[in-house]
C-alpha cells in the first residue's frame, strides 16, 4: 500500500515538475525564446530577437513604390538604387554595387546594378538573403494598359523592404554570423506573354545570371540562401516550390520549420508545388550554393502566382505589415538557429 502510494506520489511529482517545465518554456516562447532542438542529446536553445518590425518594413516598401516604377534605364530606377545603397550603408559593414550591362529579350541594352550589403564580411560561415529591386515595365497579365509599367509593391519592393529591415535589425542585434543581402536588378524584364517572339525562358533574372557568372567577391560562397518573391500581401501562402526542393530540400525543411517555430505556420504551408524559374534557379544551377524561394503561391489562380502578379493591382494597399513581419521574423529565426548550431 505504502509502496503504491509512493509510486503514485512520485508520478504526481514528475507530472507536476513537467507542468512547470512546459509552463516555463511556453512562457519563454511568448516572450523572446524559441527553442531550437536539433538532436535530443544536445538541445540548443537560442534567444531570437522578436523585434523585427513589419511597420518599418512597410515604410521601406512604400518608399520604393513612391519613386515610381523602378524600370531599367529610368530615372526612378536610378534614384531608388541610390536610396537603397544609402540605407544598406547605414546598417551593414560593407556595400558593394556590381554594375553591368545586359541585353533584354527585345535587344535593348539594360544598365543593371546588383546591390550587395554584408555584415561580418570576413567570416567564413555565410548566409545569403535576396530579392529583386527592379520593376516589371509591363502589365502583361492585366486586361488593360498591358504596355504600361506596374507599381511592383509586392513584386520587388516587399522583399527589399523586408531585407532592409533585416539589415537594421542585424545592426542592432549584431549576431556573430556572416550575412549577405543581395538585391538583384533586371529580374523582371522577362519576355511578356504578348511579345509575339519565340519563347525565351532565360529572359528573366538577368541580374542574377550576371552575378552567378561574376561573383561580387572571388570564390564567394554562402552555406545557403533564401530568396523572397512577393512576400508582402495579406494572408500570403508560401508552398514548398519544386526548384527549391530539387536543389535544396534540406534548406526548405529548415526554413519552413523556422516559420512554424516563429509562430507563422499559417503562411508556411507543407504543400509541395511545381518548379518555377526565379532568381534561385540560376544560383542553384550555375553555382554550388543552395537557395530556396519563398514565393506567394495561390491555388486558385491560373498562373498559381499571387492574384495581382504582373497587373496594375500590384499596389501598396495590398501590402500587409503582418505578412512582412511573418517573413522577416522567420528569417531572424533562421539566422539565430544558424548562430546556435554553427
Ligand atoms: C516566370 O514568370 C518565368 N518566373 C517568375 C519570376 C518572377 C517574376 N517573379 C516575380 N516576377
Ligand atoms: Zn514579376
Q: What are phi and psi of 8, to 5 degrees?
A: -65, -40
pLDDT at 36: 52
Cell numbers standing for residue 136: 516589371
pLDDT at 19: 34
Distances in Å between the Cα of 97 and the Cα atoms of 20, 84, 85, 184, 210 are 52, 11, 8, 10, 13
What digits encode the pLDDT tens for the residues 249-287? 999 999 999 999 999 999 999 999 999 999 999 999 999
pLDDT grade for 23, boundaries at 50, 70 and 90:
very low
Whether pLDDT at 29 is above 60: no
Is 285 within 8 Å of 269 (Cβ atoms)?
A: no
What separation in Å is there between the alpha carbon of 138 and the centre of ligand 2?
Answer: 9
pLDDT grade for 193, boundaries at 50, 70 and 90:
confident
Closest CA to 333 of 254, 270, 262, 253: 262
Angle between helices 159-173 and 75-91 (to 10 degrees): 20
Measured from the CA of 276, which atom of ligand 1 is nearest?
4
Q: What is the average pLDDT score of the chain?
A: 90
What residue's CA is closest to ligand 1, atom 2?
Answer: 277
Measure the N-to-C terminal CA separation of the chain; round to a whole number of Å. 52
pLDDT at 342: 86
pLDDT at 17: 36
Average pLDDT over residues 80-91: 99
Q: Is 314 in the pocket of ligand 1 (CB under 6 A)?
A: no
What digits encode the pLDDT tens for the residues 36-77? 554 554 546 679 999 999 999 999 999 999 999 999 999 999
Q: Is 60 in the pocket of ligand 1 (CB under 6 A)?
A: no
Strands 109-119 and 94-103: antiparallel
d(C-alpha 226, C-alpha 109), whole Å: 29
- In percent, the amount of the chain with pLDDT more than 70 equals 87
Q: What are phi and psi of 214, to 5 degrees?
A: -145, 70
Average pLDDT over residues 184-196: 95
Measured from the CA of 303, which atom of ligand 1 is nearest?
2
Q: Is 293 in the pocket of ligand 1 (CB under 6 A)?
A: no
What residue's CA is closest to ligand 1, atom 1?
Answer: 277
Phi-psi region of 39 (alpha: psi -120 to 50; beta: other; left: phi over 0): beta
Whether pLDDT at 10 is above 50: no
- DSSP conformation letters of 175-198: -SSEEEEEEESS-S-PPPTTS-SP
What residue's CA is closest to ligand 1, atom 5?
Answer: 278
Identify which has the larger pLDDT, 267 or 17: 267
CATH for 9-340? 3.40.630.10
What separation in Å is there between the alpha carbon of 188 and the centre of ligand 1?
Answer: 7
Strands 42-47 and 33-39: antiparallel
pLDDT grade for 194, boundaries at 50, 70 and 90:
confident
Closest CA to 215 of 318, 327, 70, 118: 118
Kindly report the three-state secondary structure assignment for every residue of 259-320.
HHHCCCCCCEEEEEECCCCCHHHHHHHHCCCCEEEEEEECCCCCCCECCCCCCCCCCHHHEC
What digits encode the pLDDT tens for the residues 106-126? 999 999 999 999 999 999 999
Q: Is 204 in the pocket of ligand 1 (CB under 6 A)?
A: yes
Amino acid at each position: 500500500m505504502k509502496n503504491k502510494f509512493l509510486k503514485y506520489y512520485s508520478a504526481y511529482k514528475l507530472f507536476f515538475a513537467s507542468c512547470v517545465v512546459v509552463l516555463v518554456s511556453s512562457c519563454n516562447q511568448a516572450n523572446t525564446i524559441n527553442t531550437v532542438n536539433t538532436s535530443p542529446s544536445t538541445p540548443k536553445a537560442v534567444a531570437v530577437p522578436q523585434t523585427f518590425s513589419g511597420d518599418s518594413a512597410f515604410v521601406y516598401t512604400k518608399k520604393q513604390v513612391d519613386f515610381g516604377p523602378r524600370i531599367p534605364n529610368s530615372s526612378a530606377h536610378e534614384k531608388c538604387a541610390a536610396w537603397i545603397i544609402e540605407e544598406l550603408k547605414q546598417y551593414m559593414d560593407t556595400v558593394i554595387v556590381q554594375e553591368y550591362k545586359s541585353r533584354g529579350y527585345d535587344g535593348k541594352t539594360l544598365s543593371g546594378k546588383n546591390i550587395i550589403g554584408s555584415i561580418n564580411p570576413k567570416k567564413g560561415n555565410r548566409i545569403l538573403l535576396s530579392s529583386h529591386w527592379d520593376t516589371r515595365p509591363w502589365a502583361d497579365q492585366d486586361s488593360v494598359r498591358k504596355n504600361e509599367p506596374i507599381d511592383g509593391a509586392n513584386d520587388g519592393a516587399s522583399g527589399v523592404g523586408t531585407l532592409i529591415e533585416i539589415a537594421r535589425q542585424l545592426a542592432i542585434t549584431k549576431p556573430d554570423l556572416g550575412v549577405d543581402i543581395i538585391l538583384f536588378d533586371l529580374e523582371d524584364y522577362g519576355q511578356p506573354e504578348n511579345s509575339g517572339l519565340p519563347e525565351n525562358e532565360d529572359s528573366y533574372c538577368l541580374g542574377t545570371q550576371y552575378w552567378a557568372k561574376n561573383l561580387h567577391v572571388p570564390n564567394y560562397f554562402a552555406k545557403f540562401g533564401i530568396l523572397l518573391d512577393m512576400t508582402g500581401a495579406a494572408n500570403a501562402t508560401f508552398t514548398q516550390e519544386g526548384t527549391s526542393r530539387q536543389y535544396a530540400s534540406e534548406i526548405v525543411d529548415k526554413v519552413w520549420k523556422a516559420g512554424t517555430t516563429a509562430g507563422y505556420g499559417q503562411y508556411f504551408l507543407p504543400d509541395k508545388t511545381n518548379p518555377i524559374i526565379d532568381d534561385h534557379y540560376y544560383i542553384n544551377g550555375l553555382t554550388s550554393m543552395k537557395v530556396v524561394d519563398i514565393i506567394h503561391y495561390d491555388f486558385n489562380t491560373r498562373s498559381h502566382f499571387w492574384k495581382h502578379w504582373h497587373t496594375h493591382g500590384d499596389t501598396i494597399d495590398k501590402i500587409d505589415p503582418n505578412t512582412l513581419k511573418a517573413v522577416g521574423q522567420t528569417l531572424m529565426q533562421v539566422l539565430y538557429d544558424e548562430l546556435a548550431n554553427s
